[in-house]
Amino acid sequence: MEASNLWDKWVGEALSKLESLKLLRSLRPLYPSHEEQEMADAGISIEEEYEVFDEMQAWDRSSVKVSISESTYRKWLLEIPSSGDDIVHGESFSDDNFGTRQQQFKQLLLFSGNDYLGLSSHPAVRKAAAKAAQEYGMGPRGSPLICGYTYHHRLLESSLASLKNKEECLLCPTGFSANMALMVALGNIALLLAAGNKPLKDEKIAIFSDELNHASIIDGIRLAERQRSVEFFVYKHCDMSHLSELLSNCKMKRKVVVTDSLFSMDGDFAPMLELVELRRKHNLLLVIDDAHGTFVCGKSGGGVAEEFNCERDVDICIGTLSKAAGCHGGFIVCSKRWKQLIQSRGRSFIFSTATPVPIAAAAHAAVVVAKREMWRRRELWNRVQDFRALTGIAISSPIISLIVGSEEKALKASRQLLKSGFHVTAIRPPTVPPNSCRLRITLSAAHTTDDLKKLTSALSSYINFQDIDSTSLLIHSKL
């Protein structure tokens, strides 16, 4: 039996058990007002309201331009620890004279964000959020299973399911909570189908995770482990030989492989086609976290699976709306059965307040705009080509990870870029392992070729591009 059929069978059995225990949970969308119902009845699409553009506009630049006060600038240069309590318009911390002394500001070009398409400043996104806030406030505040799930949430879920060519979608408060909910729900399959009170070893779920996966995946698996319903195996980064060996040696029948599709700190892609082959060979469930690939990759922005033409072979896809969508929130695209299971057993979904209506409305606008304004993806990948041409470094994505080594070197490099007018944060442990500290540079459709020329010129003052190891992007710096 194929992997998809096996897992569909197990999920169906788990749902039947939940139904017998009267533990199935339902989502019932509310209409904050009569307007949406009237529009739906009249066949009017909210998407018709969204204005789209054929090229970059002046307001796009606000997504890559930021300012910091002189006091913040000085603290950063001196590496003085800060709790973020710098006053934006004044040097004093007193409420009585807040903002009374005008500060000077430093404008910086942002090369460390995740707004890959520049959608956070798009008029359609802004207007959708403002309109929803004016009409409904923040919307009914409660968990999705109580009263927080509305027409706007359902509309967003439908658009994401369509984008990913999947049957259903479950909206979560964050990408972190989405991964947590899925991993815990996976563990619940073993709990529900166990013959006794606790799953025997063969009844557990075997989860195989890339060693560089997102922290939310790792924490979700650890939480599922505490239920004693899963066993956790870590394979070397993108090493399909190691993964294949682990899968072959595992006698457990319920196997899951979970991986980031585009790795956030290294900028490389998971070997999707090899993973698909292993899925077929071992009848496993293939799960990808497409946080950095959604809207960025694929002709329609469907993500890394679309880019590699393997959407049908990815069983479940986790994504976020806080990166290329320029908004906030997480989601899981899957089958109807999987959605019903996760919404019934995923604790981080069940016990979290739903996304505010204005955020859901803005995110829906972003999904529509990202799909229609295809030039944004084209411009983003043009910037990737620009960086390659200017440096000779064979990067493969908009995430450029230049490994410096020590924390001291990474911090010094970040300060040097700050002096040149660039916001590039040093990435240090625990985000990355010791002695692999780095400059993580991210590109955006709102950047220009001139921006890249200025950045690479600043980098060249202390980096020998020709000496960079193309396999690890290890810097031999002049610092």
Tens of pLDDT, residues 221-239: 999 999 999 999 999 999 9
Mean pLDDT of the chain: 91
Q: Quick one: pLDDT at residue 92?
A: 44
Query: Does the pLDDT value for residue 478 go beyond 60?
Result: no
Confidence band for 471, pLDDT divided at 50, 70 and 90: low
Report the candidate in 458, 469, 423 with the shortest Cα–Cα distance to residue 106.
423
Query: Does the pLDDT value for residue 148 go beyond 60?
Result: yes
Q: Quick one: pLDDT at residue 98?
A: 43
Write out pLDDT tens, residues 259-296: 999 999 999 999 999 999 999 999 999 999 999 999 99
Report the candidate in 246, 235, 250 with the shortest Cα–Cα distance to residue 204.
250
Query: Does the pLDDT value for residue 450 go beyond 90?
Result: yes
- CA–CA separation, 20 vs 34, rounded Å? 36
Query: Does the pLDDT value for residue 35 go beyond 70?
Result: no
Report the candidate in 224, 233, 183 with the shortest Cα–Cα distance to residue 206.
233
Which residues are CB-neighbours of 126 under 8 A, at least 6 positions away? 362
- What's the rounded mean pLDDT across residues 44-52? 74
98: three-class secondary structure by DSSP: coil
- What's the rounded mean pLDDT across residues 92-101? 46
What CATH number was assigned to the domain covering residues 122-372? 3.40.640.10
What CATH number was assigned to the domain covering residues 375-467? 3.90.1150.10
Confidence band for 304, pLDDT divided at 50, 70 and 90: very high
Query: Does the pLDDT value for residue 173 go beyond 60?
Result: yes
What is the distance, to the nearest Å, from the Cα of residue 441 to the centroid of all Cα atoms in its chain? 16
- What's the rounded mean pLDDT across residues 380-404? 95
Lowest mean pLDDT among 57-71, 82-96, 113-127, 355-369: 82-96
Percent of the chain with pLDDT over 90: 80
pTM: 0.92
- CA–CA separation, 42 vs 107, rounded Å? 48
Higher-scoring residue by pLDDT: 468, 191:
191
Q: Quick check: bond before 430 cis, omega within 30?
A: yes
Residue 372: how many other CB atoms lie within 10 Å? 16
- CA–CA separation, 28 vs 36, rounded Å? 15
Q: Quick one: pLDDT at residue 464?
A: 78
Q: Quick one: pLDDT at residue 40?
A: 56
Longest Cα–Cα distance of the chain, Å, equals 72
Report the candidate in 310, 309, 295, 307 with the shortest Cα–Cα distance to residue 380.
295
Report the candidate in 333, 326, 305 with the shortest Cα–Cα distance to residue 376.
326
Q: Quick one: pLDDT at residue 204?
A: 97
Q: How far is the CA of 371 from the CAs of 37, 49, 294, 336, 430, in angstroms?
A: 25, 15, 11, 24, 35
Query: Does the pLDDT value for residue 340 go beyond 90?
Result: yes
Domain positions in the chain are 122-372, 375-467
